[in-house]
Amino acid sequence: MRLFICGDICLSGEPEQRALADPKYNVWAGIRTLLNEKDILIANLECALTDRGTPRPFKWANLRATPVSARSLKGLNIAVLGNNHVSDFGEEGVSDTLETLRQLGIRSVGYGDALEEALRPTEIQCDGVRIALVSLVCPTTNGENLATHTTPGTAPLGMQILRSVIEKNRAQADILLVYLHWGYEQSHSVTPDQIRLARRAIDWGADAVIGTHGHVIQPYECYKGKWIFYGLGNFLFGTVETTQTKENGTQLRGKQEQTLPNRQSLVISFELSSTYTTDALQLADIQPVEFDENYIPRFISKNQLTVNLDQINRLIERYTRLYPGRLKGDTEVSFTSQIRNGILTYFYPTRPISFADISLSTRCSHYLKRTVQKLLAPNTRHS
């Protein structure tokens, strides 16, 4: 029995057109050879499934697909809704999305009528193994759709709320998965706070951390024997229609095509032990995929990726070795804010880490080492 986890899925645009034109179109056709009936399939659903509702004003991109097109998702076990697009078409859109998934027999997680429900895990049991999945969303992705104690939305990601939801559900499940919608879009790297949050999640009891939102492949690491995938990339994503609102109120409309890095992602699989132990979740494989011109994700080789996985993973390893102090502590993540397109928007105060950070530190370290060596060297001058 295995657990398969895929990246972001958005059916709007070309995938929707394919699904409506061909009733046999199925998102999983290209990877079906790996799947059997007992396997569990999870993915982040990055669009509303609705014909109704009003798009959010001033939002850069509002994403939806018709409920009919969602039949192409048949085979999915859990749809993660903790993201910045689930409520793009208001409560009507969310209601239709939940009902469509229910009719297809797909569980969901990450959205609720209030904060308590948004934080509630979805649970699935296979061969006696209890699997729970929770989903939280960083305010930087869309502060508009975060739940409160009295209003609907997604669960906001923060240090203490993350700890609380893990500790509350840890004892109720054999395996606890944590989904985090976060980070910079179109970046193959992550911020120091993302590393800190993910590692603390493992410290508090998560068995794996899965990141989404970047739309390109991001690093992964094994921390204390548990796996952290900072961003899986787009499993399937159509062209995005965009709207930019200028300060004078005029709107500029455009389209964002999915480039080759946006068409590639990772599918990860875990082996599930039928007898629960502390190692019930074992990484089985990491498979690169790319969706083709027919919008079918298919397996590709590691060498066909536009990003060097070893290189971006090495960046994480070197950074954590050089700056361990930056990755400790339970202080809350801080954000900056501004009004953008008429919306209160949150931003990370730091950029994603880069090899420039590593190179500068290495050069400084070598300089200090040489300076100390000169100061401590015996005086060899003769009188």
Residue tagged 């009719």 (tokens): 103
User: Is the pLDDT assigned to residue 381 strictly greater than 60?
Assistant: no
Q: Go through the chain and tell me how many residues it has.
A: 383
Mean pLDDT of 95-102: 98
Mean pLDDT of 122-136: 92
pLDDT at 374: 60
| pLDDT, tens digit, 9 for 90 and up, residues 23-77 | 999 999 999 988 988 899 999 999 999 999 999 887 889 999 999 999 999 999 9
Classified as helix, coil or strand, 313 is: helix
CA distance 148 to 152: 7
Amino acid identity at 188: H
CA distance 197 to 195: 6
Classified as helix, coil or strand, 365 is: helix
Mean pLDDT of 95-116: 98
| pLDDT, tens digit, 9 for 90 and up, residues 141-170 | 988 899 999 999 999 999 999 999 999 999
Mean pLDDT of 245-257: 81
CA distance 182 to 231: 9
For the ranges 36-40, 297-301, 319-323, the one whose mean pLDDT is highest = 297-301
pLDDT at 380: 44
Residue 211 host element (H or E): strand 208-212
Mean pLDDT of 88-98: 97
pTM of the model: 0.91
User: Is the pLDDT assigned to residue 352 strictly greater than 60?
Assistant: yes
User: Is the pLDDT assigned to residue 368 strictly greater than 60?
Assistant: no
Q: Give the percent of the chain with pLDDT over 70.
A: 92
Listed in order, strand segments (DSSP E) in 54-204 are 64-65, 78-80, 107-109, 111-112, 122-126, 129-137, 153-154, 175-181
| pLDDT, tens digit, 9 for 90 and up, residues 195-204 | 999 999 999 9
User: Is the pLDDT assigned to residue 361 strictly greater than 70?
Assistant: no
The number of C-alpha atoms within 13 Å of 288 and in the hemisphere containing its C-beta is 19
Tokens (6 digits) for 41:
């399939």
Q: What is the mean pLDDT of the chain?
A: 91
